[in-house]
């Protein structure tokens, strides 16, 4: 991608390296997540304060984030709120 400066030691050394593509978000991470889920398909996960458990393979895959339009968001120690348009 591009060049990036990395700091090493306790801030005493610097080196210029190539920046690698990020793989912790987006389609690349979704693919990684699906592989991990398939590998752990027969393991159990605790749910509901530890009172129940289900298999990883029974968890539905998500399609993305909720839009959030029309929702209220609080700010400033919870004293203010504004509507997302």
The per-residue pLDDT for 43 is 93
Three-state DSSP state, 73? strand
Per-residue pLDDT of the chain (85 residues; tens, 9 = 90+): 689 888 988 889 999 999 888 788 888 888 898 899 999 989 999 988 989 999 988 888 877 778 888 999 999 999 999 999 8
How many whole angstroms separate alpha carbon 79 and alpha carbon 85? 20
Q: For residue 62, which of 85, 30, 22, 84 has the smallest C-alpha distance?
A: 30
């Amino acid at each position: 991608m591009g060049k990036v400066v990395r700091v090493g030691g306790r801030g005493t050394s610097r080196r210029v390296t190539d920046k690698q593509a990020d793989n912790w978000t987006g389609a690349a991470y979704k693919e990684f997540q699906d592989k991990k889920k398939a590998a752990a398909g027969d393991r159990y996960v605790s749910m509901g304060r530890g009172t129940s458990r289900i298999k990883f393979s029974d968890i539905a895959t998500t399609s993305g984030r909720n839009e959030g339009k029309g929702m209220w968001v609080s700010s400033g120690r919870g004293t203010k709120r504004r509507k997302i348009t």
